[in-house]
Amino acid sequence: MRLWICALVLSAGAAAAQDVSIAKGMGSVTVETAQGAVEISRIQDQDNQISGDWALTSRACPSFCVQPILPAPGVTPIGELELLDFLNDPEVVVIDGRVPRDFAGGAIPGAVNVPYTEAADRLGELGCEPDFEGFICEGEGVKRAALYCNGPWCGQSPTAARRMIEAGFPAEKLYYYRPGMQGWRMLGLTVTGE
């Protein structure tokens, strides 16, 4: 029994000495952004806690209603590891669907701010061709898009996804990171401007 307790104490001490990684064998990911290379990692302070608006758990609905995991049929939900892969994929645009004020307050490195109110009008940035009634989004030149906003209670990126689909963007080329900035910050991942 004593041997087991000693082993437990030693392994707990060894675990505390390890770096806080993103995933097993993945300490960080470097992403090319318009401002240059950014290394995304987790905050190493194991006592770190989120604070401010990001720590709020109960906000009035509406406007802060829990969003569905699928904002529209055909859209694929993703997690942090898929989003990190997308940040280094030239065929995917990671879109922050929040209003510019929120984007300026901190975002996922490498994301492009396309406010949800503009998403349906900016499909040309994803390789779509303008049409009289929206856009034609066909062919190999059309990129995939991964959307996020403030968190599971934020309706901005789900609204952007629905508007993009209505304007002609294929739902199967859309990905939704529902945890948004709240989930990103909760995991202690790198945020622009901090």
Which residues are annotated as catalytic? Answer: 149
Q: Which two tokens stand for residue 156?
A: 């901005």
**Alpha helix (H) residue ranges in 61-104:** 80-87, 100-104
Among residues 184, 150, 194, 185, the alpha carbon closest in space to that of 49 is found at: 185
Q: Where are the beta strands (DSSP E) in the chain?
A: 28-33, 36-41, 76-77, 92-96, 112-113, 129-131, 134-136, 144-148, 174-176
Alpha carbon of residue 87 to chain centroid: 10
Q: Which two tokens stand for residue 180?
A: 């948004």
Q: Which two tokens stand for residue 59?
A: 């906000």
Residue with tokens 């060894």: 14
- The CA distance from 135 to 150, in Å, is 27
Q: Determine the residue type at 164.
A: M
